[in-house]
Structure 1
């Protein structure tokens, strides 16, 4: 996550939704993002669909439509809301209906939905405004589902990445973080999502779901994914090259392939006063 320009106040790590420059940086290479980023566990999609009163889904921060296409394949009608027009254009080209706006400013125009989802995107939404607005656009019995992946590469890959990143971007606030962040930190973030949902007093008590899975990556596959992550989307070409060279060498030392242990976390709640 490169530092924002000095002329702008740097958002607190507790308020990532204020880092708009980063939040809207992922469309720099939308095709790479779509090809390299993993999809979501089928069991998660199935559980959300089964626990919603109907097939109409609003996808907040839909990006290129990775999650949306999975919900379409499960029989849902999906509308995406995406602040980056480049990502929205890519998603539209893949058959998704998308409206360009930040969710906080998006106008529902009286439309309501059976499920509101946010895949790897809720941390870019104001947590208070977002939860209230989600309640406003849900139908009776409607479900809010916020989910995303936790993926920290093995130490043999994570430590060379962290060292190269410190050299390439010495003034980045990310350098204060450990090379591998424990799952507990991410679970705490999803617990905070649940707290903000409770504060609206419009939802039944939120549930926390967890799905564990793994995926193997070759050197080329991982180096294709890395530039789509928030810490790297705004690096200069020379900075990015330095980081990728170090990570590539680390994966080569492992035989050119490694296994990533993924955890997909979800916070979900049903609109209160409904079954």
Structure 2
């Protein structure tokens, strides 16, 4: 999926390996919260069930909750969920759907002595300082509580990905990411979760981290995919004319496939249980 073009990155020019420093991008998704909530997929039921079953209770903290997509799944499973979200627009949408949300970046959020049975980050941990975030998650978890960081690998088939990449090269020709393959291999995503697991381990506050994988598929029509694309990081801050060019190219590619395609999703998780007795 797209990465932030260079002229739209932070003035400090954070490395692609340090997305948590790109605060303006991290807080850009609320530009169309309704679209984000409608277009973004939920998470596999098997993942939700495994997290709930492996937690000592039903009090959940959702880091970077966005519009509440994952949080509502946990609520449906009988959990009491509190969201923390830096974008007030996303937080407002989530509140309107019944999720209590406190507006703050997780690193700056004040727990005020509250502790939780489960701390989750759904498609949001890359916007959190990984070292500070893991340590803070340990502080707000009860002993035996579970930290679960998870997200999707968004890689459409080559027939869709390659025209998308070509359009991005035209729109932002000097992007340093233009040399990347149109479809990033799953191993890159897995390596990121392995690194996350290592950061969790390095806190010394958790039992041995585990990595989980869930494979599933979802069909998309042309309109459904073009509705989702503008909610992804590299496109949230494009000018309307730039976005129209990218979407036009992708739409034509999907039309050539008969107006729809099947997306092979992999949802990955890094998870660990809070060690200790206090």
For the aligned pair, the TM-score class normalised by the smaller chain equals over 0.9
1:233 aligned partner: 236
Report the TM-score when normalising by structure 2. Answer: 0.97
The count of aligned residue pairs is 274
Residue 243 (str. 1) matches residue 258 (str. 2)? no
Partners of 1:156 and 1:7 in 2: CA distance = 32
1:153 aligned partner: 156
Partners of 2:246 and 2:56 in 1: CA distance = 46
| Pick aligned residue for 2:192 from 184, 189, 193 | 189
Query: Residue deviations 1:151-201, cap 9 Å, x none?
Result: 201000000000000101112233121100000000000000011001100
C-alpha displacement of 1:6: 7.7
Partners of 1:82 and 1:272 in 2: CA distance = 26
The answer (yes or no) to whether the contact 1:17–1:23 under 8 Å persists in 2 is: yes
Partners of 2:227 and 2:9 in 1: CA distance = 30
The answer (yes or no) to whether the contact 1:2–1:234 under 8 Å persists in 2 is: no
Report the TM-score when normalising by structure 1. Answer: 0.98
Partners of 1:171 and 1:80 in 2: CA distance = 37
| Match runs of 1:6-85 below 5 Å | 8-85=11-88
| Pick aligned residue for 2:93 from 78, 90, 93 | 90
Secondary structure of the residue aligned to 2:265 is: strand
Partners of 2:21 and 2:54 in 1: CA distance = 32
Q: What do you get for the CA RMSD once the two structures are aligned? A: 1.0
1:118 aligned partner: 121
Q: Which runs of 5+ in 2 are unaligned?
A: none
Partners of 1:4 and 1:45 in 2: CA distance = 38
Query: Residue deviations 1:32-62, cap 9 Å, x none?
Result: 0000000000000000000000000000000
| Pick aligned residue for 1:209 from 199, 209, 212 | 212
The answer (yes or no) to whether the contact 1:4–1:10 under 8 Å persists in 2 is: no
Partners of 1:237 and 1:17 in 2: CA distance = 26
Q: Which runs of 5+ in 1 are unaligned?
A: none
Runs of 4+ in 1 over 4 A off after TM superposition: 4-7
